[in-house]
Amino acid sequence: MSPTIHRLVRWYADKEASIMIECSKCGHSNPAGSNFCSKCGNALLPAASMSETTRVIVVPEEDPRTLEISAEDADALRTLPAGNAMLIVTRGPDVGARYLLDKDIVTAGRSPNSDIFLDDITVSRDHAEFVMSEGQISLVDKGSLNGTYVNRTLVDQEAILRPGDEVQIGKFRMLFFVSEHGLR
């Protein structure tokens, strides 16, 4: 480490060591970064959070319906047989993966027995089902821990999917497409 970098690191360490957080319950001074008072065990709040307000800044995200798909994905969608649908992963693990929805019930989860195996800790073993009935596909959450979302809205129990909808299961974000010949 160069002498300049060493001095800079030392300066930051000294500066942080000099910052103390006072316990609101007993008044004891605790080092910065402490979560609990070392004297009484009371939960500590950093000094800045006691007097400052928090401002929420909303960052607009892309509308999933405006995302462009690759030429290869477009070809796959054009050749999608009548009565079928497809999910294309657009964000998260396995970007570009395609999942065919070609049965009355297609299961999705972290279980190797799932029709759509989503290998990530954020996905429950038996996370969701895609149910094809009466010319439409519904997404049913199976009581997953992290929830299932359609267009960033939590699916309470069931949601009817429309072409272009974004489905999120764990870290996987997928776009939903239907054959141009429709569903059965």
Task: Report the distance separating Cα 122 and Cα 113, nearest Å.
Answer: 17
Residue 119 has pLDDT above 90, yes or no: yes
Residue 52 confidence (pLDDT) above 90: no
135-148 tens-digit pLDDT: 899 999 999 999 99
Give the model confidence (pLDDT) of 148-164 as tens digits: 999 999 998 899 999 99
Average pLDDT over residues 33-59: 66
Task: Share the mean pLDDT of the chain.
Answer: 82
Q: Is the pLDDT of residue 2 over 70?
A: no
* DSSP output for 100-136: EE-SSEEEEESSTTSSEE--STTS-TT-EEEEEETTE
The answer to whether residues 66 and 53 touch, using CB atoms and an 8 Å cutoff, is no
Q: Which of 108 and 34 is assigned the larger pLDDT?
A: 108
Tens-place pLDDT, residues 17-31: 567 788 888 888 877
pLDDT, position 108: 98
Average pLDDT estimate for 94-105 = 94
User: Which domains, ranges and CATH numbers included, belong to the chain?
Assistant: 3-51 (no CATH), 67-178 (2.60.200.20)
pLDDT classification of 97: cutoffs 50, 70, 90:
very high
